[in-house]
Structures are given as C-alpha cells and as structure tokens.
Amino acid sequence: MKQIATVLMAALVALCLAQMAQAQGRNCLLPGDTVEVPTPGYLRNATPNIKVRTEGGLVSVTLLSFTVSRMQIRLPSVGLPYNEPIKFVHVESNGREKVVANARMCADPAAGTGDGGGGGGGTPGTAPGQQGDQTAPGANAAPGAQLRQGLLSRRGPVTIDQATRNDVAAPSGAPEYLLVGSARDISAAQVVLAQRGVVILRTVSLGSLNLGMVAVDLNGQITLAQVRSLLAQRGISATVDRHAVYAMAAGRVYANTLVGLPATQGCSLTRPVRIGLIDGPIEKSSDALRNVPIFSNSVLGTAERIGSADHATGIAALIASPGGPDTPPGFAPGAHLYSVIAFARNGGRDVARLENIAKALDWLVSERVALVNMSLAGRYNAALEHVIGMADAKGIILVAAAGNDRRAVAYPASDPRVIAITAVDAARRLYRSSNSGPEVDFAAPGVDVLVPSLRGPAYRSGTSYAAAIAAGVLARELARGPTSRSGLIERLRGGAIDLGTAGKDALYGWGLIQATGC
C-alpha cells in the first residue's frame, strides 16, 4: 500500500507540475502569484491604490514595488475565483475605478486530484485547500491541497501583456496580433485559435497580394510562442506578430522650415533675450538643453507635489535648444530661460493655481525678463486679469496658448494684453482641437512637433507647443531691439503668411508667424 501511495503521489506531483507549467506558459494567474504590470501614465506621479475586480466584487492585493514604468503586485492566496476574468484597478479617493490591466485566473491546478477541488472553476472566495478539504496542511491533508499549497509558491513573477503606445490595443487591453498567410491557411488558423479561446476580431482580404489577414485578441489564453508552435504542429503556414504602430520616419521635423528657419542648423539670437516660462520643472540634463542658461524658481507650497518635467522640458527646448542628437534646434538659441515651477500634481493631472501664476509673474518681473511664455489655459478670472495688467504695465511681453478644447479662446490668451497663439500642422491646417476667436493673433506649428521628453524624443501636439515656438520667434524680434507688444505685432503681421480669409481672422489671426534675422 505504501508503494502504491508513493506512486500515486508522484503521479499527482507530475500532473500538477504539468498543469502549472501550462498555466505559466499561458497568461493566466493563480492565487498567491506575483504579477508585474505596466504603470499607466495617470499613476506615475500618484499613489497607487490597486485592487482586483472580480465578478464577486473587489479583492485587496499587496503592492510590492512601484516605479514610473512597472509595478509588482502579489495576489492573495485566498479570495479569488478560478477560471474567471479579473481586472487590476486603481481605486481613487472618490471610489472611481480606473483599469490598470486585464487578466484571467487559471483553472484550479489541483482539480480532479480527489480533494474535492471541483472542475475548472470555483466561486468567489475559493482558495487553495479551501474547497472540499478543510484539513490543515500536513501528513493527513488531502493530496490536492498539499500540492496546491506546495507548488503555487514556486511560480516566478507573471508579466501581464499589455498594449503599449507602439501597439494597437485589443479589447482585453493586450496588444492585437495579426496573422498573415494564404486565405486557406488563415481560415484554418481561425478555427484552431478559436478552439483555444482566442477572440477573432476581424479578417482582411489582401487580394492583390494573394494574402489573407486576421486580427486576434489572445485574451490571456495563449502566448505568441504557443500560437506559433500550435500552427506549426497543425501544418498551418501563417506569420504571426504584434499589430504594431509605426511613426513616420521623415517629414515630421517641419516646424523650423515652416516659419522660415533652417531645419537642422541652429540660428542663434543676435543678443541674449530673457524669456520666462510658467510651467513645471525642466529636466536640465536633457541633451537638447546642454549649455542653455536656465534659472529656476519654485512657487509651489510646501504641501504641493511638484508636477512632471515632461511638458516644460519640451517647451524649453522649442525655445532655446541649440539642437541635440535626436531633436532639432529651438527657435531662439542663445536665449536665457527663467523657469518658474508653478504646476503641481492634483487628481492625476498637473495644474497651476492662480496664486502660483501670480507669484511666477512677480518673480519674472523682478528678474527683468523681456518675454513670458504661458503655455496654460483656463477660464477668465478677474484677479488674474488684474495681475496680467500689472505685468503688462511693466513692459513684459506676454504670450499664451489659445487652448485645445474647440471653444472660445481660453484665458489668459483672450486678454487683449496677451499675444494669443493657435496651432497648425505641417500642411498649414488648423489643429483640430484649437480654440478660435477674434483674440487669436498668430498661428505657429503645433501638431506632431518633435521635442525631448523623459522617455526620449517624442512628437507632441497642442497650442502649448505653438505658443513656445511663437515665443522663440518673438524673441528673435526683441533681440533686434526693444519694442512694445503692439510694435512686435506690427513687425510680424506684415511677414505672416495669411492662411484664412484676407487679413486677421478668428482661426489663424494674422496668419502663420515667420522668423527673420537668420
């Protein structure tokens, strides 16, 4: 009997190990797993409150580590159902849930081993060793319970396959995958994959190429390597890979030439001009900002969390960069930047309180800047109007973004003492989200503009970037000699390229701003 029991136990161990190996190859999870998921953008400067959403409700998990790119989470060993879809969610203070990643729980690896563990499923609250066997782990415990508790802990971290900015996202949150081959092979592949729980999203006929194509969502049921192996075993000749997104390799570094400057060679100011920025922090170590004089001051309160450096770094480079290995030169190399950190994290986004904007303008006046770029937008405010009036009275030129919500020009750009800038693309078409109104003064490039970011060179769009480019062009005029706001507008309106109705209009103002003096 002892020998039979030993053989039985060895068989059960082998079975459970095989099931767990299959589970590890698949993108499904087991209770007690450590899971690695990408950190979504809205959590990079926030405190994660991660839970698992099941059909039965929310289940608490343990956050093991957290960086700007990845987070590791440990699932509880009890309280999760088997063989059901789950969602990792961030629960905000108001109870709102944001999905971080989608996944699926595996079938019970000890099901069918005689411990009463049931078939492929379980119910919410089902845990290893808790369905049908109440015996504590030990010599007399059911074999299935012992195996579950002894083997589940042997899995390494499981990485959830989530779509990135370079992928087309499938409904599950994972990347889409494409299969390409003959129409016959693609038809056969669909049948085989559907049997494995893969979701067929759509089929495409490429008749001129004599090819068929199908987009699928693997849905955590099978890995890419397993798909390739399965098709090869069935003799199906189809190529499988992620449904990738490709950026243009050329033609997008257009902003400099669009306003009349060289594309790759920096065109320095004839003399330094002090330019103020009211934004977030600047990443001064960026290659695009090497040797750029940057003087910084924070006006944030002690309880405020500093905002991201991504936006301000791009704005600073558009104005003053001498050019980097991966980014073009700015529009006013040689400028001295006076950066005010006025944006703080609030509810998952960066915002600047009016008080901080006022403090920023005050400091910039004290530093005798000639020009202030305000790549910010909001509602009209009488208090801010007063502050802007005082800054204008000091002779500072104020530039602001028109805004990006397809409405009337935002404030402070709508103030008559501020030069309002809208955005156009490489074809001189208005940015689809630009605000419009009689307050618009000029248009500048602001769609797919190449700038440095915390993750490397990136293409950004918005009137914020157009305002920065316009500020650089305005600085070029100021370098030729001091002048007033009206004097600057008068100088530039004559050289602007009229894009709308003749003269000044509500979409483009006086037209596409042009640089001179290079």
Kindly state whether residue 277 falls inside one of the protein's structural domains. yes
Q: Label residue 37 by pLDDT band (50, 70, 90).
A: confident
Stretch 474-486: mean pLDDT, rounded? 92
Q: Is the pLDDT of residue 16 over 60?
A: no
Q: Label residue 12 by pLDDT band (50, 70, 90).
A: very low
Who contacts 367 (Cβ-Cβ below 8 Å, separation ≥6)?
Answer: 274, 276, 295, 338
Of 459, 463, 457, the closest CA to residue 443 belongs to 463
Q: Are the CB atoms for 124 and 55 separated by under 8 Å?
A: yes
Q: Are the CB atoms for 227 and 177 separated by under 8 Å?
A: yes
**Which tens digits make up the pLDDT trace of 243-290?**
754 332 233 467 888 888 876 667 889 899 999 999 999 999 999 999
Q: Label residue 348 by pLDDT band (50, 70, 90).
A: confident
Residue that wins the pLDDT comparison between 176 and 393: 393
Is residue 237 located within the same domain as residue 270? no
pLDDT at residue 43 in the model? 82
- Paired tokens of 297: 């001051």
Q: CA of 86: how far to CAs of 200, 217, 382, 386, in Å?
A: 20, 16, 49, 53
Q: CA of 235: how far to CAs of 101, 177, 184, 192, 417, in Å?
A: 34, 20, 12, 11, 72
How far, in Å, CA of 192 to CA of 234, rounded? 9
Half-sphere exposure of 440 (CA within 13 A, CB side): 32
DSSP 368: T
- Paired tokens of 226: 């397993």
The count of other CB atoms within 10 Å of the CB of residue 166 is 11
H or E segment at 258? helix 255-258
Q: Do you find a cis peptide bond into 482, omega within 30 degrees of 0?
A: no
Label residue 431 left, alpha or beta by phi (over 0 means left) and psi (-120 to 50 means alpha). Answer: beta
How far, in Å, CA of 360 to CA of 344, rounded? 13
Q: Are the CB atoms for 413 and 439 separated by under 8 Å?
A: yes
Kindly state whether residue 420 falls inside one of the protein's structural domains. yes
CA angle 97, 280, 390 (to 5 degrees): 120
Domain with residue 344: its CATH number is 3.40.50.200
Q: Is the pLDDT of residue 114 over 60?
A: no
Of 370, 306, 314, the closest CA to residue 340 belongs to 306
Kindly state whether residue 314 falls inside one of the protein's structural domains. yes
Residue that wins the pLDDT comparison between 341 and 178: 341
Range of the domain at 193: 177-242
Kindly state whether residue 44 falls inside one of the protein's structural domains. yes
Residue that wins the pLDDT comparison between 27 and 139: 27
pLDDT at residue 413 in the model? 95
Q: Label residue 111 by pLDDT band (50, 70, 90).
A: low
Is residue 269 located within the same domain as residue 316? yes
How far, in Å, CA of 328 to CA of 19, rounded? 54
Is residue 236 located within the same domain as residue 259? no
Is residue 155 located within the same domain as residue 238? no
For 302-319, give the DSSP string.
Answer: TTPPB--SHHHHHHHHHH
Query: What does pTM read for this prediction?
Result: 0.54
Of 242, 267, 287, the residue at which a domain comes to its end is 242
pLDDT at residue 482 in the model? 83
Q: Are the CB atoms for 257 and 497 separated by under 8 Å?
A: no
* Furthest CA-CA distance within the chain: 102
Of 242, 267, 299, the residue at which a domain comes to its end is 242
pLDDT at residue 355 in the model? 82
Q: Are the CB atoms for 100 and 89 separated by under 8 Å?
A: yes
Who contacts 250 (Cβ-Cβ below 8 Å, separation ≥6)?
Answer: none
Stretch 362-368: mean pLDDT, rounded? 92
Kindly state whether residue 165 falls inside one of the protein's structural domains. no
Q: Alpha-carbon dihedral of residues 64, 120, 127, 49, nearest 10 degrees?
A: 30
Kindly state whether residue 50 falls inside one of the protein's structural domains. yes
Angle between helices 143-151 and 2-25 (to 10 degrees): 40
Is residue 266 located within the same domain as residue 153? no
Q: What's the structural domain count of the chain?
A: 3
- Paired tokens of 387: 């502050």
DSSP 122: -
The fraction of the chain above a pLDDT of 90, given in percent, is 43
Which of the residue ranges 30-39, 102-111, 481-490 would you say has the lowest mean pLDDT? Answer: 102-111
The count of other CB atoms within 10 Å of the CB of residue 289 is 23
Which of the residue ranges 224-228, 421-425, 474-478, 487-491 would you say has the lowest mean pLDDT? Answer: 224-228
- Assign 501 to helix, strand or coil: coil
How far, in Å, CA of 67 to CA of 358, rounded? 34
Is residue 333 located within the same domain as residue 378? yes
Kindly state whether residue 16 falls inside one of the protein's structural domains. yes
Is residue 121 located within the same domain as residue 32? yes
Residue that wins the pLDDT comparison between 301 and 488: 488
For the chain, give the mean pLDDT.
82
Of 96, 125, 159, the residue at which a domain comes to its end is 159
Is residue 138 located within the same domain as residue 212? no
Stretch 49-75: mean pLDDT, rounded? 90
Angle between helices 485-495 and 463-479 (to 10 degrees): 100
Number of helices (H) and strands (E) in the chain: give both, helices first: 10, 24
pLDDT at residue 6 in the model? 47
- Paired tokens of 397: 């030129």
Kindly state whether residue 334 falls inside one of the protein's structural domains. yes
Which of the residue ranges 55-69, 109-123, 392-406 would you say has the lowest mean pLDDT? Answer: 109-123
* Dihedrals phi, psi of 307, to nearest 5 degrees: -80, 180
**Which tens digits make up the pLDDT trace of 447-467?**
999 998 888 888 899 999 999
Residue 432 burial class via C-beta count within 10 angstroms: exposed 0-12, middle 13-18, buried 19 and up:
exposed
pLDDT at residue 418 in the model? 97
Is residue 36 located within the same domain as residue 134? yes
Is residue 396 located within the same domain as residue 465? yes
- Paired tokens of 304: 């405020």
Is residue 38 located within the same domain as residue 147? yes
Q: Is the pLDDT of residue 113 over 60?
A: no
Q: Are the CB atoms for 465 and 446 separated by under 8 Å?
A: yes
Angle between helices 183-195 and 224-233 (to 10 degrees): 120
Which of the residue ranges 32-41, 384-393, 484-493 would you say has the lowest mean pLDDT? Answer: 32-41
Domain with residue 183: its CATH number is 3.30.70
How far, in Å, CA of 436 to CA of 445, rounded? 16
Which pairs count as long-range contacts for 385-394, CB under 8 Å and 24+ apart, including other chains? 385/411, 385/412, 385/415, 387/357, 387/358, 387/361, 388/361, 388/412, 388/415, 388/417, 388/418, 389/417, 390/361, 391/361, 391/364, 391/365, 392/417, 392/485, 394/365
Is residue 285 located within the same domain as residue 220? no
